[in-house]
Every structure is written in structure tokens, then in C-alpha cells.
Amino acid sequence: MALEFLTVYWRDMLRFFRFRALLFSSLVQPALWMAFFGVAFTGTISQLGAPASAPPGALYVPYLTFMAAGIMALTTLFTSLFGGISLLFDKLWGLMREILASPMPRTHILIGISLSGMTKSFIQVMIIMLFGIVIGVRFFVGASLLHLAVSILGILLFVGVFSLGFLFMSATISMRMESPESLQAVITLLSLPLFFVSNALYPAEAFPPFLRVATAANPLTYVVTGIRYFAIGPDFYALGGHYIYSLMDVGSALLALVIFALVMFVVAYWTFEKAVVT
């Protein structure tokens, strides 16, 4: 049986739940972010598009709801970008040698650590959704139970593929770096542009053309599209913009994320096969 990756998964989750402080902060942080950021901005930004100006048939969406999808995506981005760091620590503390000297195929390290990173993102995303709804995010409005289930699965699908892509990237960087500081530097360098050149917290439609190209190349854009489609709906009005997502839009967004994840997997696979750790 080729299920040894579950061993790596088991150990990483064990550690995740063992460190209460880390667990607590990883759960509370996104909720706090959402509470402060969302509440602070909702007052000012919502004036941009009053409910009255919504086109007929389009659902009016307040900023808090619009932003919640973005916070879910950004939280997943950061968690995933740092998800590979345990590999770096294993490497530095010599623990990786035990694993590399074992008969377990090296891809299983990659798969195990990525699945546990994905699980952590799922937990965070569910918490943000729950907490968001409590503080007034209007997700899944009027959805039947079946519709709700499908929507949540859809969100998890997008979040899952998106997080795997960045987890593979993070694993690759971790295996190539020599210190946590350099990993931190690389990730900060990566995450800032991703963060700003996306539709996560504000509409990207008003960007100048070269930024729009960057937005189209940013996986965040696609995961946010997917989350909004499933959480809010295919046709809504927010921040003075009218959003219409066809099934085609959503399908190609998912395809873009799958391609991104596959490319990252290949790069990570290659890195692991060649890894020498002594």
C-alpha cells in the first residue's frame, strides 16, 4: 500500500494540535483580521455603491461580505506559503535524515505535508465563514440545505487546489533554503505583490492595463472568484461594480488553479528527488 504519506500527515497534525498557542493564533488571527479590517472599512467603503444603485436582478452586497471572501483567500495564501516551513525545520534539526533514509518514496513527504497544510486551511476557512456570518457577513443568503452543502464543497474545492499550489511552492522553497530567515524573506517578497495585485479586498477592474495582466496571472484572483461565486452568487453588485460569473468563468478559474497547482507540484517533485540532506 502506498499510503505512507499519511504518516507524514499524522505527525504534522499531531504537532499542530499539540502546540496550543500556535493552534489558537492560527484560528483567532483570521477572525480578528476580519473583525477589525472589515468593520473599519465597511463604514467608509460601502458608501461607494449604495443599495439603490444596484442594477435590477443583481444582489446588493455590502463591503463586509465582499471582503470576507478575500480574507478567506488571503488567510489561505499566508498559511500555505508558510506551510512548508516545517520541512525547513526538519532539515535544520536533522529530522529529515530519518525520513530520507527510509524506504518511503520522497513524494510522500511532499504529499503528506501538503495535505496537512490543506487541512489547516480548511479549518481556518470554515472558522472565518462561521465567524463572518456571526458578525453580519451575508453568505449563502436564502440557500437550501442542498445548495448550502454544494456551495461549501465548492469553496473547499477552490481553497484546496489553491492551497496545494502554494504549499508545493512553499515546500520547494523550504527545501532549497538554509535558514528560516531567508524563507521568511522570500515569502514576504512573494506575498506582497500577490496581495496587492488581486481582487481580494477591492475590485481589480479599475486597475491600469499592466496591473490587470498581473491580476490575471495571480492565482488569488481565481480562488476569490470561486469563493464569491459559491458564497455570494453568480450575479451581484458591490462597491459600485456589477459582478456576473458564468459557469464558464468559474470553470476556467478552477482550471487555472489546477494548472498552477500541477506546475508547482512538478517543480516540488523535482526538488525532492534531487534533495541531498546530510
Partner 1 sequence: MESLLSEPIIEVRDLSHSFGDVVAVDSISFTVMRGEIFSFLGPNGAGKSTTINVLTTLLPIQKGEVRIAGHDVATEPALVRKAIGIVFQEETLDRDLTVWEILEFHGRLYSMPRDERRARIDEMIRLVELEKKRDVLIKHLSGGMKRRLEIARGLMTRPEVLYLDEPTLGLDPQSRLRVWDYIRQVNREGTTIFLTTHYMDEADSLSDRINIIDHGKIIASGTSDELKNALGEDMIYLETDDDAKTTGILRSLPEVKDVKPSFKGLSVTLNKEGTKTLPVILDRLKEGGIAIRSANLKKPTLDDVFVHFTGREIRG
Q: Which residues bind partner 1 (CB under 8 A)?
A: 1, 4, 6-7, 10-11, 14-15, 18-19, 93-95, 97-105, 276-278
Beta strands 235-238 and 241-244: pairing type?
Answer: antiparallel
CB of 100 to partner 1, least distance (A): 6
The three three-digit cell numbers of residue 145, written as one number: 440545505
Phi, then psi, of 253 in degrees rounded to 5: -60, -45
- The identity of residue 199, as a single letter, is N
CB of 230 to partner 1, least distance (A): 36
CB of 88 to partner 1, least distance (A): 14
* CB of 105 or CB of 203, closer to partner 1: 105
* CB of 18 or CB of 52, closer to partner 1: 18
* CB of 112 or CB of 160, closer to partner 1: 112
* CB of 101 or CB of 146, closer to partner 1: 101
CB of 108 to partner 1, least distance (A): 9
Q: Which of 191, 216, 190 is nearest to 205 (CA)?
A: 216
* CB of 98 or CB of 181, closer to partner 1: 98
* CB of 247 or CB of 274, closer to partner 1: 274
CB of 21 to partner 1, least distance (A): 13
* CB of 77 or CB of 99, closer to partner 1: 99
Contacts of 169 by beta carbon, 8 Å cutoff, 6+ apart? 81, 84, 264, 267, 268
How far apart CA 212 and CA 266 sit, in angstroms, is 27
How far apart CA 277 and CA 67 sit, in angstroms, is 43
- The identity of residue 206, as a single letter, is A
Asked if residue 5 lies in contact with residue 112, where contact means CB atoms within 8 angstroms, the answer is yes
CB of 165 to partner 1, least distance (A): 27
Asked if residue 177 lies in contact with residue 160, where contact means CB atoms within 8 angstroms, the answer is no
* CB of 8 or CB of 200, closer to partner 1: 8
CB of 98 to partner 1, least distance (A): 5
How far apart CA 247 and CA 229 sit, in angstroms, is 9
CB of 23 to partner 1, least distance (A): 13
Q: What angle do CA 207, 63, 134 make, to 5 degrees?
A: 145
CA 84 to chain centre: 14
Tell whether the torsion through CA atoms of 177, 273, 268 and 115 is positive or negative. negative
How far apart CA 228 and CA 140 sit, in angstroms, is 10
